[in-house]
Structure 1
Amino acid sequence: MPTQLQPDAALPLIRFGLALMVIAGLYLGQDVLIPIALAVLLSFVLAPAADRLERWRLPPVPSVIATVILAFSILGGVGLIVSNQVVSLAESLPKYRDNITQRFLSLQGGEGGVFDRAAETFFAIQEDIKKKPAAAEPGVAEPPGTRGLQDNEPLTDQPPEPILVEVREEPPSTFELLRDYVSPALIPLARLGLAVVLVIFFLLQREDLRDRLIRLMSRDRLDVTTRALNDAGDRIGRYLRTQLLINTCYGVPIAIGLAIIGLPGALLWGLLGMLLRFIPYVGPWLAASMPILLSLAVFDGWLWPLAVIALFVGLELFTNMVMEPWLYGASTGLSPVAVLLAVIFWSSLWGGVGLLLAIPLTVCLVVAGRHLPQFEFFTILLGKEPALSATERFYQRLLAGDHQGAMELALEHGDGLISVYDQVIIPALTLAERDRHNGRLDPELEQFIIESASEIVDALGARESIAANGKAIEPRHQHFELMCLPSRDLADELTARMFAQVLKQQGIGAQHLSVKSLASEMVERVGEGEQPVVCVSALPPKALAHTRYLCKRLKQQFPKARIAVGLWNTKEYAARVTPRLNEAGADAVLPNLAAGVKWARQRMNERATVTAPKILN
């Protein structure tokens, strides 16, 4: 019988097939989907203006109509200015014909330059190849009297007389002119007209459409869907407004600078620079290339073309390095790679309109993944947030055998020793303990992880334990020393050493013992102090039983001892097992090193109060 795929095994294939169907639908349905996408994008932009007019007591329909008329009047005015500038520039170009010719000659290296000589050599070789007679096929003899004759060649010595052929083209008909010049513009005009109509209806029915979308996406989770829609609207609206501000601050100086330089069509290039920057990556290059090429054609020499290049480069650097980081922030939530992939994907599907819609559409996908679990992979692939946490990156470097990479990650975490241990290294050791108990780590890798983490702890401790004057920090109370005991394995010993380092860095006396010590030896070492203060360091998931045993022995041997258990990186687990540890003799359960430092400082202050000399009257 043929084998059948299990449901779990077939699920990736089903998802892949659905993805292909969606992409095919986006491509095949672009005549309908592009106007809808444009209308949705324009609705995000125009909705605040319509809301403002309605708050001014204007009815909804006049508010929407006025907003749409104003918006498209502005767009039409910009288009009219651009077209007039293009016509004016086209009329002035013949004046620069001689200069353009001279510029091309200079680029070729003058008459008879390198390019001309290379072209002449190429054509000469081609002519020699054509003149070389073709070799006869081997084994085939030519009949007598036919050598040198070609097909259809006359058997006379007189060359054939040339025949004059005149080709006359009929003038195109009106229908052909309409077909050649008008029909290519019909589809964009139809899409634009449909988008205008859809914008009006979307703005009039925006609240009803929002409610229907909420019910369609998640009827039982109104809060999640509402947050997702608000987040998407805020991000897209903020992105478009910020982009418009940045582009305006880019286009106006371009127009002014080119006008000062004297380049024809300065207003045109400023407007195009402002509009083309809405297209990621490609737009700025297009905006700069056209005026730079024009400057090479119209100016003599290289001074003014270099000035045009410097103007664009300077403004681009200022925009990319100052304005965009300052104004954008987290406006879109997309990574740079996601922006590039979005541009490639949507432009491949929808052409130039896809370039314009790439960022808003991708933002919608990322926002959906942030709020809806079924779309979370979009946030992971395209979002700006790191895919792995600092803990996961540190542990992944250890799993990959990259000791130096793990060291750099720990050193980059510049919030202090306690923060590095609590937020990076101890959680990574917890992951390692979980994998070890589940049989996912071989002995060699387990040893490498412990040794690498130990070296990193030593390096961090050496860096942090030295004060600004170059001397080690002395304990603030000479009669207080906290004993840090490991519960059962090397990871517990390493966390005990971290706790001792942190305490010493805070000016609190501390020592840690090796895991090789027997329980009786640990109890004996604890008994060397007058009033023992002990912390048993343990990492879950298998250290609880041995920790309870050690606490019982310590409490039986030293009833007045203060005992804490450090169940690091397990706040919920620590709260759940606290009653059982209290029964075993533990006075406190510490979920992290920060809580441990606070507890140790309290015990040190108690000891200082007890041992302080009393003043006799």
Structure 2
Amino acid sequence: MDPTIEPIPEARQPVAAPAARAARQAQLDLGVRIHRQLGLLVAGGILYTCYFASELILPILLAAFFALLLNPLMKRLAQRWLPRWIAALALITLFIGVLGGIGNALYPAAAEWVGQAPQVLREAMPRIKALTRPFQEASKVTASLGEIAGDDEARRSRVVLQAPARANLLAATPRALASVLAVVLLTYFFLLYGDTLLRRVLLLRPTWAAKRLTVDIVRSIQNDVSRYFLTVCSTSIALGVATAGLLWALGVDTPLLWGAVAALLNLTPYVGPLVMAAVLALVGLAQFPALGAALLPAAGYLGLHTLESQVATPLVLGRTVNLNPLAIIVWLMLWGWLWGILGLLLAVPMLVCLKIVCSRVESLQEIAVLLEK
């Protein structure tokens, strides 16, 4: 073989190809890491904005969800040759009238109970102390053991009670009325111009596939969230009526008030029923002398809630809202911390919307899998 002849290039290819593939894979991994870090930064920025701009964002979200709730009725009225602006105005007027009538009917009982709340708490405190006496004795034993061990910090610790500042009702009332008016107006305009806004958004989408994806996401959100709202509202009303009937049969005072509160708290999964059971236990301890009779209202309500949550709601919803309970609890904690009571009420509908979007977008389908039961 002539030594001046150069070796063929193919002899170096098996060595160079793995190095090139490794370099490309490293670039891809770096891009994925950068993408995830940017996603975390964007999520943090969104949460930061939601926290400090809650007075602006909450009315828009409430109006959007009220519009989704009324949208099926809006379509039926519009199909009967009724102008959209008249249909939207009639629906909002009817909705406000129903809420106002319920509030007016329950206001005397609620005001009376609020006035009697300090007395009810004073009457229930001895019973609660009797129930918690074993835990108090155990804590005293733990404290004494700490003192024997020389825990000086525990001996020097003091409990300082600070009275909360009084709310300035005169300053808060105009802001609350402005927020309510903003929700009403935004709901009206969402009902009136929602379809037009969707068509304008579709014009901005660059490709036919992107337009189809947008329509699929919007229709799924409208159908699933509307169905979720209607189902939860219907089952909550049924649970409230059943709770009021049960409390009336047990002889509890103001059963209609507690039935309405049970229906309202049932809109928040897990947290609302636990709060309602605690309230009914407190009311029972203050009204009935026997311990069994005192705890019977709370036990009966928990039985009705179990029947509603495990049988009625899954039977109607099916697998439309298939969410992981752990994801729901974490989501409730997050938005309850950010927005308080309104955050608890809006948390599950927002989680349903998030799951719908993630299940339709290919790059976000892993999140949708994590959110499923």
Q: Give the TM-score, by structure 1 length.
A: 0.48
Other-structure match for 1:359: 348
Note if contact 2:124-2:286 (Cα within 8 Å) is conserved in structure 1. Answer: yes
Correspondence for 1:260 among 249, 263, 266: 249
Q: Following TM superposition, by how much is the alpha carbon of 1:108 offset from its aligned partner in structure 2, in angstroms?
A: 7.4
Note if contact 1:231-1:367 (Cα within 8 Å) is conserved in structure 2. Answer: yes
Q: Following TM superposition, by how much is the alpha carbon of 1:42 offset from its aligned partner in structure 2, in angstroms?
A: 0.5
Cα distance in structure 1, aligned partners of 2:123 and 2:41: 58
Which structure carries more helix by proportion?
2
Pair member with larger Rg = 1
Correspondence for 2:208 among 220, 229, 243: 220
Other-structure match for 2:275: 286
Other-structure match for 1:207: 195
Q: Which amino acid aligns with 2:347?
A: A
Cα distance in structure 1, aligned partners of 2:355 and 2:204: 19
Cα distance in structure 2, aligned partners of 1:344 and 1:217: 35
Cα distance in structure 1, aligned partners of 2:30 and 2:113: 67
Tell me whether 1:189 sits opposite 2:157 in the alignment: no
Tell me whether 1:250 sits opposite 2:239 in the alignment: yes
Tell me whether 1:303 sits opposite 2:292 in the alignment: yes
Cα distance in structure 2, aligned partners of 1:288 and 1:383: 28
1:71-470 aligned at under 5 Å gives the runs 71-91=95-115, 99-100=123-124, 103=127, 106-107=130-131, 180-216=168-204, 219-221=207-209, 222-384=211-373
What are the Cα deviations for residues 503-556 of structure 1, in whole angstroms up to 9, with x where unaligned? Answer: xxxxxxxxxxxxxxxxxxxxxxxxxxxxxxxxxxxxxxxxxxxxxxxxxxxxxx
Tell me whether 1:33 sits opposite 2:57 in the alignment: yes
Three-state SS of the structure 1 residue aligned to 2:208 is coil
In structure 2, do the counterparts of structure 1 residues 104 and 45 end up closer, same or farther at CA, with 3 Å as the change threshold?
Answer: closer
Q: Following TM superposition, by how much is the alpha carbon of 1:337 offset from its aligned partner in structure 2, in angstroms?
A: 2.4
Three-state SS of the structure 2 residue aligned to 1:35 is helix
Q: Following TM superposition, by how much is the alpha carbon of 1:217 offset from its aligned partner in structure 2, in angstroms?
A: 5.5
What are the Cα deviations for residues 440-492 of structure 1, in whole angstroms up to 9, with x where unaligned? Answer: xxxxxxxxxxxxxxxxxxxxxxxxxxxxxxxxxxxxxxxxxxxxxxxxxxxxx
Other-structure match for 2:162: none
In the alignment, structure 1 segments of 5+ residues that lack a partner are 126-175, 385-617
Cα distance in structure 2, aligned partners of 1:204 and 1:48: 13
Q: Which amino acid aligns with 1:62?
A: I
CA RMSD of aligned residues (A): 3.3
Q: Which has the higher contact order (CA 8 A, sep 6+)?
A: 2
Cα distance in structure 2, aligned partners of 1:262 and 1:55: 48
In structure 2, do the counterparts of structure 1 residues 337 and 212 end up closer, same or farther at CA, with 3 Å as the change threshold?
Answer: farther
Cα distance in structure 2, aligned partners of 1:49 and 1:94: 44
Q: Following TM superposition, by how much is the alpha carbon of 1:91 offset from its aligned partner in structure 2, in angstroms?
A: 4.9
Q: Which amino acid aligns with 2:181?
A: G
What are the Cα deviations for residues 402-455 of structure 1, in whole angstroms up to 9, with x where unaligned? Answer: xxxxxxxxxxxxxxxxxxxxxxxxxxxxxxxxxxxxxxxxxxxxxxxxxxxxxx
Cα distance in structure 1, aligned partners of 2:263 and 2:293: 22
What are the Cα deviations for residues 544-595 of structure 1, in whole angstroms up to 9, with x where unaligned? Answer: xxxxxxxxxxxxxxxxxxxxxxxxxxxxxxxxxxxxxxxxxxxxxxxxxxxx
Cα distance in structure 1, aligned partners of 2:117 and 2:49: 45
Q: Give the TM-score, by structure 2 length.
A: 0.77
Note if contact 1:89-1:264 (Cα within 8 Å) is conserved in structure 2. Answer: no
Q: Which amino acid aligns with 1:13?
A: Q
Three-state SS of the structure 2 residue aligned to 1:205 is helix
In structure 2, do the counterparts of structure 1 residues 32 and 218 end up closer, same or farther at CA, with 3 Å as the change threshold?
Answer: farther
Note if contact 2:331-2:351 (Cα within 8 Å) is conserved in structure 1. Answer: yes
Other-structure match for 1:473: none
Note if contact 1:365-1:378 (Cα within 8 Å) is conserved in structure 2. Answer: no
